[in-house]
Structure 1
Amino acid sequence: MKRILVTGSNGQLGQCFAALAKEWPTLEFHFCHKAQANITNAEQMQRLIDKIQPTIIINCAAYCQVDLAEQNHALAYAVNATAVKQLAKLCKNAGIFLVHFSTDYVFSGATTKHSAEEPALLQPYSETATALPINYYGLSKLAGEQAMLDIAPMGLILRTSWLYSQFGPNFVTSISHKLQQGQALNIVDDQIGSPTYGPELAAACLQILTKHNLAKDFTTAKLLHLAGQGQASWYQLALQIQQLQFKYQQPLAGYNQKQHQQQTGTISAISSQQWPSLAKRPAYSALSSAKLKQLTGISLPPWQQSIAKCIKKSI
């Protein structure tokens, strides 16, 4: 039986793994949050590894507050880069398989034009695309990737995009709650990514860990993309949330669409320049997961299907 240690268990992705644990009886899970062992403390992590003796570590711990990272460089780097380096060394020395998650924000979001008359070519980023972060969060996550690749334990780095779930604060839960309160919302429409449903990301990760010969297929750390299929702007995603809320609430509440629109908030599109924030976001950061599908046969559904599943569970 594979013994799996999941760090960052109180975070959004950690909770997604915890919710799935009962569906994987052949795996022995151990969930660890910051109070039990801080991943920035190498000695604490060594003691935890000695106690549990995991065959796999899934690192869900991360500093994910993009704007606050601009003010807290040291903390963001300690969690997203230095701790990953330490964890990779521990895993390499003990022969433990390490799974680590990264972000589409390692990319600049720059697009190219052949001429002034032709539109920008928006092609989802592949693993071979040049990473060039435009905010400190992305910079710290890229440093963590590079450290793990340099140390090269058995392992897998999964870059994902625009993570959401029914757990904890995220874009989907925030927008859903504000709409139910009847708030008028201004949502950025010039940032595009690949919305990814956390429970599906976690399930896909576990499929890789159970269906593949890890020692053979991932002798040293590989970097792969795994995100929801397709792409959307934050504005498009918000509109989809609003439509799905009406779809699933209507049979329960018994009101028509006009009444629903009167009782929920409105959504207006704005530009990134109209939304003040400390950190710059890439205008385009959709990810291609084609390589992972080719190697493992695993992919995530179109984001429209996944957001519907999430909203239905939340109603």
Structure 2
Amino acid sequence: MTLSRRGALAALATSALWQAPAFASEWPSRPIRLVWPFATGGLGANLTRVLGDGLSQRLGQPVVIDPKPGAGGVLGFQYTKQATPDGYTIMLGTNSTSTLLPSMQKNLPFDPIKDFEHIGMAYTSGNVIVVRADSDIKSLKDLRDKAKANPGKLTYGSAGNGSTYHLMPALFDQLNGTQMLHVPYRGGSPAYLGLLSGEVDVVFGDLSALPQVQAGKMRALGVTSRQRVPAAPDIPTTAELGMPDLRMESFYGLFAPKGTPKAIIDRLSTEMAAVLATPTVQRQLETLSTQAAPDTSPAYFVKRIREEAARWKPVIDKAGITIE
């Protein structure tokens, strides 16, 4: 290589180093796209809107919610992976896609760790086990005993094959030596309707069931989070009920395309934490039966993705749950 060519390459490298901070300092100068990898409506879409509104106020630019539903979140993750890494496309992803799907689906077109920058975990939400209010199943022990006495006959409704509504009862069966019958629906709301209509006996679902519990139409047997849920403090945890390993907490976090400048990732992480700390957002989260994450740092987010993926893989493998 000639001296002049080495000099030109060095000049280009130096230019790039100077331009990156300048680019990051000018960001954002136009609207930001916030991808939600599922359909509109429901808890996750509402949480996306809460975060988008807060970031918009703090960053001084519109944050436009862009739903990209399909294939259990895969299409939204793919879209974000392929977006230009300039800080103008970010995504609120869920643990169902980032920690569970890699163990269920072969040839997944993304790696949740390697293909993204991780801005931070935003929210956590408990899950709840419910039966109809008139059910003779009045406790988690009753559910276990009835499932043992009636192998293959007690039914549970899920939000679809491979959903958290499916994996929690699969874990319940493995822990208790029971065999309940899976009845998949096309979403969480249809599963709850199936429970209320008597099509299924139990649903291991999310906290959107709480209004039905409070209205006296469903009975909550327990929550699967580490602590009791602030929105329903009278419902005991599965650990309190003698099943500490029957645990699942849904979580949501912000992803960006790989290569997004670190200065922008750091700014987004800081602003997200500030949004979640505001009294207005805290009140909104309480209404949605959700909490801000205990740690919003990128490092904690990556750690939780790795830990939950490792914890659920043997459960998924043993249950033989796959998604084509």
Q: Relative contact order (alpha carbons < 8 A, sep ≥ 6): 1 or 2 greater?
A: 2
Larger radius of gyration: 2
Which TM bucket (shorter chain)? 0.3 to 0.5
The alignment's TM-score, normalised by the length of structure 2, stands at: 0.32
The alignment's TM-score, normalised by the length of structure 1, stands at: 0.33
